[in-house]
Amino acid sequence: MTLFDRDLLEEGLRQLVARLQESGVRSGIRIVGGAALALRYFDRESTVDIDAHFIGPTGVVEEAASAIARANGWPDDWLNRKAAGFIPEYGARPVKWLTLHDDADVVIEVASPEALLAMKLKANRPGRDETDAAKLMAICGIAALDEAEQLYEEHYSGEVLPDRAIRMVEMILRVGVPDVPPRPPEVDIAPRTG
């Protein structure tokens, strides 16, 4: 299994940008999940993949990702759309996307910390999401259960915070929301030249 730390995430994205530029078609990805956290918000353990929504013709992005997987000996799903269904696209609060890279051909974006927190609360996987959720609560200034519920309901209109997520937030609040973590350096995913 390939584990992607921040350096390997950057290298994979650098290769993706280069291949998408070669395609000549405006395309890119919007990153969510652990990769988004590691690239933009705080140091965290490695992740096994990059969860993303593909921008532009899906086949162009899939073909580039497959070529990169073959060239590096990475799993075929190192870049995938498995979590795309969790992106809160139709909530009262639209997802904000922050740009990591944008040139004439390729755009790479990550979801805002608020959207990522809403997604972590939706997934609320015991033993997997607590640390990330706690750090995102700090970044988003969430210090009470009702604030977490409001953020969730604004992103997922018509839904209420699941009971398991309520228990997770209550546990984080009992332990204490951590300090806002230091932000990692800006990513450099522009293809290397020369």
What CA–CA distance (Å, rounded) separates 21 from 31?
18
Tokens of 127: 């033993």
Contacts of 192 (CB under 8 A, 6+ apart): 14
pTM of the model: 0.94
Q: How far is CA 18 from the centre of its chain?
A: 21
> Which stretch of DSSP H or E encloses residue 110?
strand 106-111
Output the DSSP codes for 4-70. Answer: B-HHHHHHHHHHHHHHHHHHTS-EEEEEEHHHHIIIII-----BS-EEEEEES-HHHHHHHHHHHHH
Mean pLDDT by 10 residues, the chain (194 residues): 92 97 95 96 92 95 97 96 86 90 95 97 91 97 98 94 97 97 92 74
